[in-house]
Amino acid sequence: MKKSRNIFSRIYLYIVLLFLYMPIITLVVFSFNASKSRARWDGFTLKWYAELFNNPAIIQALMVSIGVALLAAVFSTILGTLAAIGIHDMRRGPKEMILNISYLPVMTPDIVTGVSLMLLFIFFRMRLGFMTMLLAHISFDVPYVIFSVLPKLRQMNQHAYEAALDLGCTPAKAMYKIVLPEIMPGIFTGAVLAFTLSLDDFVVSYFTTNEVQNLSMYIYSAARRGIHPSINALSTIMFVSVLLLLVFINRRSSLADR
């Protein structure tokens, strides 16, 4: 009975995984299809990838995506780490209130966040462009950094910082020598998570800029005219990039736990 239950559980798991990943597998396979038609296979080719990198519009969108993702990851990591340290040192009442407020950007639907930020930028008469997109990405990345760093702060020895002060360290030096090395895995995880979330964001970016396009916006506009095989190639590259980042994060976390 137990054996048959385990077999049924495995079959059910494989069906769920197949349902989740079959569209992605199909996308990857047809990015190497020599035919433009999705109804037949005409042989293996890399011409869509070559065409992809010879398209200046795609290269421009790629530069915007990487630039915004890198800058958003850097600023949100700094702000999120400082916020996490401040929240950790708060008393219980204010801490719970700030944590609940910090959860709001994570729980709020992307379309609500995008429209809200767009209205905020318009209210302050800001020109919707690269800068507003960057500010929007920082705003939704910061909470993820906070919740990546806080667990590491809870795990560290609470008396190590005070001991460093007693031994003659200044608060800044004790923070640099004691606290930051202890929470560095959480900082790194938050930074990579912020970069990943920013790299493939569409909804918030769509509402907060009129002058530039990131890759997600480019794919959306190109798909409305019909799915070209180069879009399959571009989506495959984005998927593989994010997958490698996640594998790297999980591998680093496993090593840290050991």
Nearest to 136 by CA among 23, 217, 241, 18: 217
pLDDT tens-digit profile of 226-254?
777 778 888 888 888 878 877 877 777 67
Contacts of 133 (CB under 8 A, 6+ apart): 68, 205, 208, 209, 212, 214
Q: What is the pTM of this model?
A: 0.83
CA dihedral for 202, 205, 206, 207, sign (positive or negative): positive
d(CA 253, CA 258): 9
- Mean pLDDT, to the nearest integer, of 110-132? 92
- Evaluate whether 165 touches 174 at the Cβ level (below 8 Å): yes
pLDDT tens-digit profile of 173-215?
888 888 888 888 889 889 988 998 998 899 999 999 988 898 8
The domain locations on the chain are 52-257
Q: Residue 44 pairs with which residues in a beta bridge?
A: 33
Tell me which residue has tokens 């992605």: 24
Answer yes or no: CATH 1.10.3720.10 is held by domain 52-257.
Answer: yes
- Mean pLDDT, to the nearest integer, of 216-227? 80
